[in-house]
Amino acid sequence: MANRKVRVGQIFFYVPVMLDKLHPPAGDINFGDEVVVVNLHGAPKANTFGHCYVNNLLTGRFAGLVCTNSLVTRAEYVDHLKALIAQENVNRVVEELRAA
């Protein structure tokens, strides 16, 4: 899978891929948080080895080093949430059918 290319200053939503789930960022970041891509002095630039540094948009605090594939646009985030809601509805219907 190709890594997403990001630019400094872009705003994304954080939806962690497996790499970020296994080794989560050390900063102030949770699923669904809005983040902005930043470059830090003395650190590798964004997209190096498919990673970048981000700040939490709400708090302005450093959020950590994340995989660029964990960053999604607003439209992609809405689609992801719709899929999660649909899956939850399917699970609920299956449980009701099993109980019947």
Domain ranges of the chain: 11-73
Q: Output the pLDDT for position 5.
A: 95
Distance between CA 88 and CA 93 in Å, rounded? 9
Rounded (5°) CA angle 47-61-8: 30
Q: pLDDT tens-digit profile of 4-46?
A: 999 999 999 999 999 999 999 888 899 999 999 999 999 999 9
Q: How far is CA 49 from CA 45, 67, 69, in A?
A: 10, 9, 11
Please state which of the four CATH numbers 3.40.50, 2.60.40, 2.30.30, 1.10.3430 is assigned to the domain occupying 11-73: 2.30.30
And the tokens for 48? Answer: 């190096």
Q: pLDDT tens-digit profile of 48-92?
A: 999 999 999 999 999 999 999 999 999 999 999 999 888 888 888
Distance between CA 57 and CA 25 in Å, rounded? 15
Q: Output the pLDDT for position 95.
A: 81
